[in-house]
Chain A
Amino acid sequence: MGYALGVLTLSCIQGIAALGLAIFTGFTGQFSLGHAAFMGIGAYTAALLTYFAGVPFVIAVVAGALAATVISLVIGVPTLKAKLRSDYFAIAIMGFGEAVRVILENLQITQGARGLPGITRYTNLPVALLALAIMAWLARNFILSKYGWRAIAVREDPVAAEMMGIDLFRTKLLSLGASAFFSGVAGGLLAHYLMFIQPVMFTNVQSTQLIAAVVAGGIGSLTGPVLAAAIFIIIPELLRVANMWRLVIYGLMLILIMVFRPAGLMGYHELSLEWLRGLGRRNRRLTTNA
């Protein structure tokens, strides 16, 4: 029973991180290969605060998320200001993720590559569920706000959006900051659930898992990526698949989704009663809406 609860807790945490990337990739249309680094920053900041300074858990997690946001702005301002194409940006943020890992591995206070053990466990299933609910509510409000609408406009057609007077730089930067905040919260929760963190947890593999969740869950959906993130945690646990096969399957899945159903599990839709009712008479517009 404890094991099942643990898997569910991890699913909730991964769901929060997926929400963040959904804002950036699914709604703003930007590609990131380094969001795990923001999780890492959140995790380390929160863990160090509770571990060394005895800061209350909630404040530590929020501080970690804010730290991730600030760092995301540090990398986001120069790269987004330069109006980098989204693929240049993707590679720049990947290099940034590498740099974060190298720094975490070489700092004294993070105890290098060996990792930071002995973090108090504050995260459990109710806490993770509550956090997921709050973050989902925040994400929904963000998307429904005028900032969210601007982000969607940028995703659909950056040129037209700019002509309408939308500031591309500010919109993308805001999305990046918001998504880094979500990743930071997920990192902080993760650190206080696993009680041990290590720089290697926040590398490419984690970034690609998040991308896989967002793409499979559906571009332009919040509930889809959360669902997909949970499925990607739960199914390998059930099947006890080796980590490597999991990545092989994720890769294949990304191609298959792009080729056959770019909308993903529930692209441009949210999990709701209406969506479930409409499931039977789904039109083809979705799959051709490239």
Chain B
Amino acid sequence: MGELKVFLQTLITGLAIGGVYALMAVGYSLVFSILNFSNFAHGVVIMLGAYFGYYMCTLFHLPISLATTGAMLGAGLLAIANEKLAYRPLRLRSAVPLYFMISAMGASMFLENMVYVTVGAHFFSYPEVFKGSLSILHAKIGLLDVVALCVSAVAITGLTLFLNKAKLGIAIRAASRDMTVAGALGVNIDKLLSVVFFIAGAFAGIAGVFLGVKYMVYPTMGWITNKAYIAAVIGGIGSLPGAVIGGIILGVVESFVATYVSTALRDVFSFSLLVVLLMVMPSGLLGKTLEEKV
């Protein structure tokens, strides 16, 4: 019985963190599918989303649901600003992916250290929310994990519906096939990218709040998002179902490694998993074959 209990608890924790990874991985994948580069600045958007949510909770005493909405809005607008200022000029010049990556790296450094300089390196913790726990088959499962899993599932289902049914969603999918042709056929690429970055940012906001509640809020929490990036790559970057599958796989595997092997090895394990998987499947589980455009 004890064995099963530990197993079940590990599984649910893994699924919950996997759901949050998936939320973040979706942001990487969406941007990648259209602009064909890895947006390394996504991590700081998530980190700032966590700060936005924290301040909404503590300064304005908003309930967590409103604070999350606020974090989504804030992070979404931040992501749009990031695109307009750091990527749009490169896009108009059709620069190589290396330049986009350097620019993203710059945005990431700028924002992260801006937080250091202004707010400081303090750790903040959210007010206590979702404190309770459920008991399933004698296994104690944190309410937070359940909520995180449900919210992630709802958000990602919503996005899938949007991409498949809505006119704008179809335009986004068209642009991910070929941005130039989509533009020529009358899609306003500038507006479309604002929408894409807003969605990526809003998802980053939700993920940031969950990470903040679960762990804490601090300037280098963007480091966790590297693992979301790994999740996106494992699933096949650019593919939405891939991001979800990659996130869930990584979350569950990490959770089991942490429980049954060692917590210290967890992160090294994720990176090794990435390298090994890419050697076998260079485009990830569900990715299309990717040639770097030049």
Binding site for B on A (CB under 8 A): 25, 29, 31, 33, 78-79, 81-88, 90-92, 94-96, 98-99, 102, 156-160, 208, 211, 215, 242, 244-245, 247-248, 250-255, 257-260, 262, 288, 290
Contact = CB atoms under 8 A, between A and B. Distances in A.
Given A245-B117, A247-B109, A259 B86 contact: yes
Given A83-B282, A88-B278, A255-B85, A288 B93 contact: yes
B195 interface: no
Given A79-B275, A102-B268, A208-B109, A159 B291 contact: yes
Interface of B: 37-38, 85-86, 89-90, 93-103, 105-114, 116-117, 226, 229-230, 233, 264, 267-268, 270-271, 274-275, 278-279, 282, 290-292, 294
Nearest to A260: B89
A33 B110 CA distance: 16
A248 B102 contact: no
Nearest to A97: B271
24 contacts: A29-B98, A31-B98, A84-B278, A86-B292, A88-B233, A91-B226, A91-B230, A92-B275, A92-B278, A95-B274, A102-B264, A156-B294, A159-B294, A244-B116, A245-B113, A248-B113, A250-B109, A251-B108, A255-B106, A258-B95, A258-B102, A262-B99, A290-B95, A290-B96
Contacts of A78: 275, 279
Nearest to A160: B294
Contacts, number: 138
Nearest to A33: B105
Contacts of A245: 113, 117
A248 B116 CA distance: 9
Given A88-B38, A250-B106, 11 more contacts: A31-B101, A82-B275, A86-B97, A91-B226, A98-B268, A157-B294, A159-B291, A215-B102, A247-B116, A250-B109, A257-B102
Contacts of A83: 282
A91 B109 contact: no
A248 B112 CA distance: 8
Contacts of B282: 82-84
Contacts of B99: 258, 262, 290
Contacts of A87: 37-38, 97, 101
Contacts of B86: 255, 258-259
A92 B102 contact: no
A98 B271 contact: yes
Nearest to B219: A244
Given A248-B113, A251-B113, A255-B86, A91 B233 contact: yes
Contacts of B274: 88, 91-92, 95
Contacts of A90: 38, 101
A87 B40 CA distance: 9
B110 to A, nearest CB: 3
A140 B266 CA distance: 42
A250 B112 CA distance: 12
B89 A259 contact: yes
Contacts of B96: 29, 290
Interface centre among A96, A248, A255, A259 (most CB of B within 10 A): A255
Contact of B292 (A94, A158, A160): A158
A248 B89 CA distance: 21
Given A86-B292, A159-B291, A211 B278 contact: no
A98 B264 CA distance: 12
A95 B278 CA distance: 14
A244 B113 CA distance: 6
A90 B89 CA distance: 23
Contacts of B116: 244, 247
B279 A254 contact: no
A249 B15 CA distance: 39
Contact of B107 (A208, A255, A257): A255
Contact of A94 (B101, B117, B226): B226
A35 to B, nearest CB: 13
B102 A31 contact: yes
Given A86-B292, A102-B268, A259-B90, A91 B103 contact: no
A248 B275 contact: no
Contacts of B100: 258
A97 B111 CA distance: 22
A245 B114 CA distance: 8
Contacts of A99: 268, 271
A82 B107 contact: no
A251 B8 CA distance: 44
Contacts of A244: 113, 116-117
B105 A254 contact: yes
A262 B97 CA distance: 12
A252 to B, nearest CB: 5
B292 A258 contact: no
